[in-house]
Amino acid sequence: MNARHGIDATASSRHPPTTKLGRRSYVTTATATWVNREATAEELIPLIGKLHRENGVVLSIHGRSLVNKSVIELLKLHDFVSHIDGAPLNPAHSLELVRALAELNLGACSINIAALHKAHREAGSPELSMWLPEQLGSSVNHQGDQPKEQDVVLYGFGRIGRLLARILLERSSSPLGSGLNLRAVVVRKNGDQDLVKRASLLERDSVHGPFKGVIEVDEENSTIIANGVPVRFIYSSDPNTVDYTEYGINDALLVDNTGRWRDVPGLEQHLNRPGISRVLLTAPGKGDMKNIVFGVNDNVITDEDKILSAASCTTNAITPALKVLDDAYGVERGHVETVHAFTNDQNLIDNFHKGDRRGRSAVLNMVITETGAAKAVSKALPQLEGKLTGNAIRVPTPDVSMAILNVKLTKPAGSAEELNELFRRESIDGELRRQVGYSDSPEAVSTDFVGSRTAGVVDSLATVVTDDSAIVYVWYDNEFGYSCQVIRVLERMGGYDVPSYPAK
């Protein structure tokens, strides 16, 4: 068996063909190797946790965080590297690397250890104690440096609001702070058990699983305490009635995830309240409001921008992939067909709905509906203005959608293999690596992409290229992947920007 199938030649060479264990029983080389890998992962866990808690360092493998992972989850992530680099990452190599990182007194940063290990190997495997400081120069000996702190308020606590809360709370487990501090949630009160029920919805999710941590409810103070972080719930049905400074909140970023107001005059209601300095909308903005797709046009954000939109989940999924195509070959025109999971806007069973077709049962029907995502792409990529059309089909699944990009290119792409290699490389070390994922699995289906942190994942086995025409299939977690993009925009707005390594 070779490395791609999960057997590490380096690790297995430490064991004889059979190893005596307990009651004079014998295990195979494969089992002995697995036991060794488990032991190595167990050594990694406290080192990963300590770097996160004491240094604010987030270790990852190609965009997948290693913080708070179990032994099995760590080993699966090491094997996942084979889909990107052609062979799994040896946990023993990771352990050696992480031990060396722990000696550098690092400041807050993000480190892709798979990419760092690959760069080390390509450099000829020099002594880590000499090589690493050169790679991480701006973060070495900066332990204890406090990142810029920014209060965050969530206005609304639906599907996106709760996922934003989960991500923010996940990042708050380091005493150094995450930069973005979730302070409050504003909702309308729905009965005496409102806070208990909202805590339960945060703790349990039918799609995304249980909350990773401990949640307590302090009804007397209208507060949910999640992993030691108190989050005040403010009850209001009118944004004009809230004074956030009464709760010790100042200069906060407010995220409106209700979709109730989508223009500047509507969102200015938040901006005019004491304690709020900037507003981010989690829906396409109307009028002249800047629609931001992080990774593509976040460079247009200025300190003067007080109200911004994070666009839609579909716009976030397709725009990075279209940018890759446009940069490499040019896009003359195209059509985007979205196969989208049903949303709370639809009816569970047939009933009146003001929108066409959306009144029919979401769990029983495929429903053709409109989407503005294709036209909205031009707000992030002006050069594609008027070049894209789009339709959407809502389907009976609760999460993960697919966008099918059918485009005519200015110059031929050559072959599907050439186009796929372009996306594969982008997903590894391109400027859009946090937005563009890549899959080469012949068995991948929609549920495999639940929890994906990229804006979209190209399904390479579905790519079709004919001369100057290309069809690209992009999976996206329209809830969690989009929420990750929203958090990235928040970080930019709040001036929280820790370095990432290896540097591009």
Per-residue pLDDT reduced to its tens digit, 55-106: 889 999 987 889 989 999 999 999 988 877 788 999 999 999 999 999 999 9
Which range of 4-13, 175-184, 290-299 scores highest in mean pLDDT? It is 290-299
Q: Residue range 227-232: average pLDDT? A: 94
Give the integer Cα–Cα distance in Å for 180 and 164.
11
What is the percent of the chain with per-residue pLDDT over 70, rounded to a whole number? 93
- SS3 (DSSP) at 449: helix
167: nearest Cα among 242, 255, 251:
255
Distance CA 342, CA 206 (A): 14
Residue type, 278: R
Would you place residue 419 in the very low, low, confident or very high pLDDT band (cuts 50, 70, 90)?
very high
| Three-state SS at 357 | coil
Is the pLDDT score of 34 beyond 50?
yes
Q: What is the pLDDT of residue 244?
A: 97
Q: Is pLDDT above 50 for 15?
A: no
Alpha helices in 357-479 (DSSP H): 373-376, 416-429
Residue 403's nearest CA partner among 465, 340, 481 is 340
Identify each DSSP E strand in 188-267 by its residue range: 215-218, 223-226, 229-235, 252-256
Tens digits of residue pLDDT in 154-178: 999 999 999 999 999 987 755 555 6
Domain 150-283, CATH? 3.40.50.720
Q: What is the mean pLDDT of the chain?
A: 90
Per the annotation, the verdict on 484 as an active-site residue is no
Where exactly does CATH 3.40.50.720 map onto the chain? Answer: 150-283
pTM: 0.89
Give the per-residue pLDDT at 147: 67
Q: How far apart are CA 157 and CA 504, in angstroms?
A: 36
Contact indicator for 350, 359 with CB cutoff of 8 Å: yes
Q: Identify the pLDDT of residue 249.
A: 96
* Tens-place pLDDT, residues 108-133: 888 999 999 999 999 999 999 999 99
Q: Determine which one of 115, 313, 321, 367 is catalytic.
A: 313
Average pLDDT over residues 334-352: 95
Residue 459, beta-bridge partner list: 439
Residue range(s) in the chain whose domain bears CATH number 3.30.360.10: 313-478
| Amino acid 177: pLDDT | 52
Q: 37-46, 78-87, 184-193, 231-240: which range is least confident on average?
A: 78-87
313-478 is a CATH 3.30.360.10 domain:
yes
For residues 372-398, give the mean pLDDT: 94
Number of H helices, E strands in the chain: 14, 22
DSSP state at residue 221: G
